[in-house]
C-alpha cells in the first residue's frame, strides 16, 4: 500500500510541477501576444499617417510648385516648343 501511495504522491507532484510550468508559459505567451498586438496597432497608425502624408505630398498644386521653385521648370507655350523631326540618313532607305 505504501508503494502505491508513494507513486501517487510522486505523480501528483509531477502533475503540479507541470501545471505550474504550463501556467507560466501561458502567461508569458499572453504577454508576448499583447505586446505584438500593441506593436501592430502602432504600426497601423504609423502606416495611416504616412499614407496621409504621401497623399498630401502628391497633390497637383504641390508638384507644380516644387517643379517651378526647386527644378526651375515653367509652363510650356507654343512659342518655346521645339519640335524635332526624324533626320534623313542617306545610308538608310532612299
In a domain, 87, yes or no: no
In a domain, 82, yes or no: no
Q: Are 73 and 67 in contact (CB under 8 A)?
A: yes
In a domain, 10, yes or no: yes
Residue span of the structural domain in which 22 resides = 2-74
75 DSSP assignment: -
Amino acid 88: pLDDT: 59
In a domain, 22, yes or no: yes
Please count the structural domains in the chain.
Answer: 1
Confidence of residue 92 (pLDDT cuts 50, 70, 90): low
Torsion angle, alpha carbons of 74, 79, 85, 90, to 10? -120
For the stretch 19-62, pLDDT in tens is 999 999 999 999 999 999 999 999 999 999 999 999 988 888 88
Share of the chain above pLDDT 70, in %: 90
Amino acid 93: pLDDT: 54
> For residues 75 and 2, which has the higher predicted lDDT (pLDDT)?
2
In a domain, 6, yes or no: yes
Residue 30: how many CA atoms within 13 Å on its side-chain side?
6
In a domain, 92, yes or no: no
In a domain, 88, yes or no: no
Q: Are 62 and 56 in contact (CB under 8 A)?
A: yes
The terminus-to-terminus CA distance of the chain in angstroms comes to 116
Amino acid at each position: 500500500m505504501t508503494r502505491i501511495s508513494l507513486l501517487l504522491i510522486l505523480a501528483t507532484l509531477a502533475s503540479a510541477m507541470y501545471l505550474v510550468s504550463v501556467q507560466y508559459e501561458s502567461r508569458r505567451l499572453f504577454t508576448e501576444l499583447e505586446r505584438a498586438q500593441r506593436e501592430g496597432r502602432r504600426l497601423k497608425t504609423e502606416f495611416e499617417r504616412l499614407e496621409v502624408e504621401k497623399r498630401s505630398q502628391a497633390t497637383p498644386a504641390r508638384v507644380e510648385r516644387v517643379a517651378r521653385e526647386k527644378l526651375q521648370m515653367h509652363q510650356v507655350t507654343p512659342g518655346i516648343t521645339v519640335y524635332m523631326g526624324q533626320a534623313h540618313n542617306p545610308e538608310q532607305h532612299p
